Amino acid sequence: MSADYPSYVGLWRSGQLQQRAEQAIGALSDCTLCPRQCHADRLQEPPRGAYCRTGRLAVVSSAFPHHGEEDCLRGYNGSGTIFFCHCNLRCVFCQNFDISWEACGRPLDARGLARLMLRLQDAGCHNINFVTPSHVVAQILEALVIAVEQGLRLPLVYNTGGYDRAETLRLLDGVFDIYMPDLKFLDPAAAKLYFNAEDYPQVACEAIREMHRQVGVLELDHTGLARRGVLVRHLVMPGYLEDTRRVMRFLAQEISPDTFVNVMAQYHPAGYARRYPPLDRPLSLAECRQALHIAREEGLHRFARD
């Protein structure tokens, strides 16, 4: 982000943003935008064979100034969150089960989605925070073109579960100022069991490398607000502290010891979690403390407050 404008404004002025939106929308006819690579025709309704169950239009659950995000995102006026329904990951323990699995929301075309962004800007939000965007990259780009034409100038946050194709993320180079992936498991067996994605560890690590290549470590302005960079979330899971160690070691050694991390301790059994011990119980206070100790032990030192 420049001193005056987010980086996507320059892409829009050059016509590149419009070109990328057209490319992404065209890809929906044989969709491989996310790692599921369903090859579904998402221009049809209903989109048969699409894992994300999302067709031509994005489905939005809610949009509001969120005061429950990390301090560096919410500031004083809130982070302008837009929650998308459905998900390309669908964890069995999803903390937003009603949104990601049950899809309580309404479809919006590009103009409707652009209007949401502009309303959040008018409300004084510090950024536009797209929650679960991996399966609606095309729809976001299409709406962003309209929103920028009408005056959108806020930084954009890509708030993802981490199951993102690096090839698709390259379409977003210069569009998003802040990436906020969750790195859940580096154990392929756990990934297969809990979200039917044995390749999640490899895919998520590659995605975070690409995000870091684009925007680097998180930079804060003089008020403590995020300007640009990567903020990684890790939801600590009961019984999986060794996997927490693998996650922290990867971030410290293969991304940067200066990586900004939110070691999230709010896990509780949600969705279908009670069918999957040890995820059928809340996280203990001892596990919360140990997870943060592990992160420091592995060489990380920049931690967010959620």
Give one DSSP letter per residue of 202-232, joined into a string.
HHHHHHHHHHHHHH-B-EE-TTS-EEEEEEE
Across 67-88, average pLDDT: 95
pLDDT above 80: residue 238: yes
pLDDT above 80 for 22: yes
CA proximity to 209, closest of 183, 243, 185? 183
What are 271-296's pLDDT values in tens digits? 999 999 999 999 999 999 999 999 99
**Helix H or strand E encompassing 243:** helix 241-250
Residues 97-147 pLDDT 10s: 777 766 678 999 999 999 999 999 999 999 999 999 999 999 999 999 999
Mean per-residue pLDDT for 223-239? 96
Structure tokens at 43: 């221009």
| Listed residue (143, 126, 132, 129) closest to 54, CA to CA | 132
Rounded Cα–Cα distance for residues 261 and 305 (Å): 9
Phi then psi for residue 115, to 5 deg, are -60, -40
Residue-wise pLDDT for 31-46, tens only, equals: 999 999 999 999 988 8
**pLDDT score of 235 more than 60:** yes
Query: Which amino acid is present at 87?
Result: C
| Residues whose CB falls within 8 Å of the CB of residue 90, separated by 6 or more in sequence, listed in order | 100, 101, 195, 196
User: Would you state the pLDDT for residue 102?
Assistant: 67
SS3 content of the chain, % helix, strand, coil (to 5): 40, 20, 45
Say yes or no to pLDDT of 9 above 50.
yes
Q: Contact 215/232 with Cβ under 8 angstroms?
A: no
Amino acid 103: pLDDT: 67
Predicted pLDDT at 293: 97
- Identify whether the C-beta of residue 88 lies closer than 8 Å to the C-beta of residue 35: yes
Chain centroid offset of residue 12 CA: 22
Contact 114, 150 (CB under 8 A): yes
- Whole-number pLDDT of residue 305: 61
Average pLDDT over residues 179-195: 96
**Averaged pLDDT, 208-236:** 97
Backbone angles phi, psi at 246, to 5 degrees: -60, -40
- CB contact set of 17 (below 8 Å; sequence gap of 6+): 8, 11, 141, 144, 145, 148, 175
Pairing of strands 58-66, 106-108: antiparallel
Question: Quick one: DSSP state of residue 93?
Answer: T
Is 80 exceeded by the pLDDT of residue 12? yes
pLDDT of residue 105: 85
Instruction: Select from 56, 227, 103, 236 the least CA-distant residue to 155.
Output: 227
CATH numbers and ranges of domains, the chain: 9-31+59-303 (3.20.20.70)
User: pLDDT at position 4, please?
Assistant: 58
Q: Dig out the tokens for 7 from the structure.
A: 């980086």
pLDDT digits (tens, 9 = 90+) for 137-177: 999 999 999 999 999 999 999 999 999 999 999 999 999 99
- Of all residues in the chain, the percent with pLDDT exceeding 70 is 97
pLDDT for 306: 47
Contacts 24+ apart (CB under 8 A), 220-223: 220/72, 223/75
